[in-house]
């Protein structure tokens, strides 16, 4: 589980870059150094320890159980019906008026190199469904 010098330097640089954005709250420099060392050790060796333990468990024949999805028992109570979302506070919403024609000023645009263009009212750019 030895850490190469290149790995150690890269890990220290990455940790230092992150630590610049998250300063430690007025800790004594010695305490901050110990916390920093603990963090680097945890990040560096934590994954290696997990990998080692997983490999040893596989060698002993211990395999984690996978969840069973097929054939799961039905729930004991049926789900209640979904609420009627077509009503608001027990009342149907007021019908929306049909939109009127889109004014020419809104449908007119200037395209560089082409000039002034008036788009048709049923153009998808206006979000109207016809």
Distance CA 57, CA 80 (A): 45
What letter does residue 62 receive in the DSSP assignment? Answer: -
In a domain, 17, yes or no: yes
Q: 19 is in which domain, residue-wise? A: 5-59
Q: How far apart are CA 30 and CA 38, in angstroms?
A: 12
pLDDT tens, 7-29? 888 888 887 787 777 765 566 78
In a domain, 102, yes or no: no
Predicted TM-score (pTM) of this structure: 0.29
CB 13 within 8 A of CB 40: no
In a domain, 98, yes or no: no
More confident residue, 125 or 107: 107
Share of the chain residues as helix, strand and coil, in percent rounded to the nearest 5: 40, 10, 50
**Is the per-residue pLDDT at 47 higher than 80?**
yes
Q: Is residue 38 in a domain?
A: yes
3-state secondary structure of 110: strand
| Residue 31 in domain | yes
Is residue 24, in this structure, part of any structural domain at all?
Answer: yes
């Amino acid at each position: 589980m030895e850490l190469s010098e290149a790995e150690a330097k890269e890990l220290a640089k990455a940790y230092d870059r992150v630590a610049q954005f998250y300063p430690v709250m007025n800790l004594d420099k010695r305490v901050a150094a110990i916390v920093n060392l603990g963090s680097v050790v945890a990040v560096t060796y934590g994954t290696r320890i997990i990998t080692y333990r997983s490999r040893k468990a596989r060698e002993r024949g211990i395999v984690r159980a996978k969840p069973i999805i097929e054939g799961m028992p039905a729930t004991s109570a049926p789900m209640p019906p979904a609420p009627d979302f077509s009503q608001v506070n027990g009342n149907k919403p007021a019908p929306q008026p049909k939109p009127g024609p889109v004014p020419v000023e809104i449908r007119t645009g200037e395209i560089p190199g082409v000039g002034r263009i008036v788009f048709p009212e049923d153009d998808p750019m206006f979000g109207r469904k016809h």
